[in-house]
């Protein structure tokens, strides 16, 4: 994509790096992440950023093998903000002193001595979120202290001659209430950015890029699930190349209640050239006896590829596979960022077998979910697609803990439908990020009529989020939870207990497997 203005975020392996990127975009400034080991000065020059943010990270800057940044970057004249590890790195590389301290975790009171541009509009004392073991105890020559906390004497500093700032706390997390204001000050007061980043405005460019990539005699195969990501991808490609796009919807037997019929009807109404593949038996046969969640994901991903290979053989001049990969998919699969961990495998970012000989088309891979929804609305997609809750590619297999079998599939499918129905009835469905049921192998003793009965435990999970990078459990009114519980235990055979998941992400993930 061609972007007029951007802010580069240099990633040192911090758990919040991509949340920083999301917050910058939330302020209508495009951000792009570059791993520290690829952030040489020539690369940064070519990107021509309006500002640079140095992320947090798990290492100690004073260790010989700790990640560093090209020193020449500090001479570019581009405003720089270091956060946590980035804060310590700036101090260390300019000759300040960083040591292992007793650390500071959780909420802290920031005492601001000099508001400069960075803290404009803030009070003299603000709540911030700390998460560090090392501390800057001496600023470099030519730097001044802007703020401190009770534990951290140098919680923020600034160069007296260069537009370089460091802050020890995390402005990107919701636990720093004025964090967005601080980032806004950096972007607009220090970097002089303009709030021009609007994903929907890029639709013509995305379509044009697809036209340039796909030659006039080539065809594209698009995996479409009916979710907003894959459907938006298919519509974008269709607008670019018309019926040379072949959309393939695979029913792997792991979909939500009524989903196959809904998806097929919707995609055909959108005018897509659709192939519907009923592969329920082959997927479920492959999953028999498999309990490990990563193995289940890999089996499903591999079987998807095999299905597409079979379809592809029947399509002349097929050269491309289009996928609805978005930024969090790439992030959680460990495909971006030096030292980033793979949290879970995503079937749509695992790469293609060489035998398939198709090039990959992923027009949405650098967009977050809410940005994809903006693009979808601008393309005229119906609300039934735009507002649908995220659903994993491997489907209900990741909401079944342990082996996938017909009974657990029935329970999780029906229970999830009940959760969605009750949220819609209460007017809450569109106000939460995701809501579903989970079932595992654990059982609970119940009483049905006058008899003792052992049945499954159903876990209800309802979360709120902006981009799925972080999430919090939703405080659903008790009367709604009560109705969900009573319906599940009364309507579903062999369920004797319903629980509600109240763990946020992190430390938990949204999906159980």
Residues marked as catalytic: 84, 170, 172
- Per the listing, tokens 């018309």 go with 242
Question: Which tokens go with 104?
Answer: 């500071």
Query: Hey, how many other C-beta atoms are within 10 angstroms of the C-beta on 71?
Result: 10
Q: Dihedral of CA 236/237/238/241: which sign? A: positive
Question: Which 3 state secondary structure label does DSSP give 203?
Answer: helix
The rounded distance, in Å, linking the Cα atoms of 164 and 506 is 30
Q: What is the b/e burial string over 195-233, where b = at least 16 CB atoms within 10 angstroms of the residue's CB?
A: eebebeebbeebbebbeebbeeeebbbbbbbbbbbbbbb
Going through 56-181 in order, the beta strands assigned E by DSSP cover: 80-83, 97-112, 125-138, 143-148, 156-159, 164-167
Q: Dihedral of CA 474/478/479/484: which sign? A: positive
- Residue 69 has phi, psi (to 5 degrees) of -125, 155
- Per the listing, tokens 């959680």 go with 332
The rounded distance, in Å, linking the Cα atoms of 147 and 156 is 5
Answer for the pair 457, 444: CB distance below 8 angstroms, yes or no.
Answer: yes
Burial of 316 (0-12, 13-18, 19+ CB in 10 A): exposed
């Amino acid at each position: 994509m061609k972007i007029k203005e951007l802010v580069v975020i240099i990633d040192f392996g911090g758990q919040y790096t991509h949340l920083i990127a999301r917050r910058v975009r939330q302020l209508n400034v495009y951000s792009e992440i570059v791993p520290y080991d690829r952030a040489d000065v020539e690369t940064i020059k070519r990107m021509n950023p309006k500002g640079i943010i140095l992320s947090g990270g798990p290492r100690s800057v004073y260790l010989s093998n700790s990640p560093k940044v090209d020193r020449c970057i500090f001479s570019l004249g581009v405003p720089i903000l270091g956060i946590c590890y980035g804060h310590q790195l700036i101090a260390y590389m300019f000759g300040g002193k960083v040591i292992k301290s007793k650390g500071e975790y959780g909420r802290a009171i920031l005492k601001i001595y000099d508001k400069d541009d960075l803290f404009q509009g803030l009070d003299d004392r603000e709540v911030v979120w700390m998460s560090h073991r090392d501390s800057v105890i001496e600023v470099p020559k030519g730097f001044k202290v802007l703020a401190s906390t009770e534990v951290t004497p140098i919680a923020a500093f600034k160069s007296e001659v260069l537009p370089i700032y460091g802050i020890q706390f995390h402005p990107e997390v919701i636990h720093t209430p004025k964090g967005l204001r601080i980032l806004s000050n950096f972007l607009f007061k220090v970097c002089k950015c303009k709030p021009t980043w609007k994903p929907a405005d890029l639709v013509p460019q995305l379509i044009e890029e697809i036209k340039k990539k796909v030659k006039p005699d080539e065809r594209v195969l698009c995996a479409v699930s009916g979710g907003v990501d894959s459907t938006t991808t298919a519509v974008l490609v269709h607008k670019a190349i018309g019926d040379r796009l072949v959309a393939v919807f695979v029913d792997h037997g792991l979909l939500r209640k009524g989903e196959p019929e809904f998806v097929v009807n919707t995609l055909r109404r959108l005018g897509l050239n659709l192939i519907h593949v009923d592969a329920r038996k082959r997927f479920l046969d492959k999953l028999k006896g498999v309990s490990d969640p990563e193995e289940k994901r890999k089996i499903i991903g591999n079987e998807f590829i095999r299905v597409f290979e079979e379809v592809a053989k029947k399509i002349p001049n097929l050269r491309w596979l289009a996928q609805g990969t978005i930024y969090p998919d790439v992030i959680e699969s460990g495909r971006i960022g030096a030292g980033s961990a793979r949290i879970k495998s995503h079937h749509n970012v695992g790469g293609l077998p060489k035998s398939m000989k198709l090039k990959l088309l992923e027009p949405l891979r650098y967009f977050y979910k809410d940005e994809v929804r903006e693009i979808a609305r601008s393309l005229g997609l119906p609300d039934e697609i735009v507002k649908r809750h995220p659903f994993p590619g491997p489907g209900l297999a990741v909401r079944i803990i342990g082996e996938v079998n017909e009974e657990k599939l029935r329970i999780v499918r029906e229970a999830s439908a009940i959760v969605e129905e009750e949220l819609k009835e209460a007017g809450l469905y569109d106000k939460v990020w995701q809501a579903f049921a989970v079932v595992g192998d654990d059982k609970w003793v119940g009483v049905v009529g006058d008899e003792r009965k052992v049945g499954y435990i159903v876990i209800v999970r309802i979360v709120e989020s902006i981009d799925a990078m972080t999430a919090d459990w939703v405080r659903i009114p008790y009367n709604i939870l009560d109705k969900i519980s009573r319906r599940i235990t009364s309507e579903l055979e062999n369920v004797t207990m319903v629980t509600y998941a109240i763990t946020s992400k992190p430390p938990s993930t949204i999906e159980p497997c």
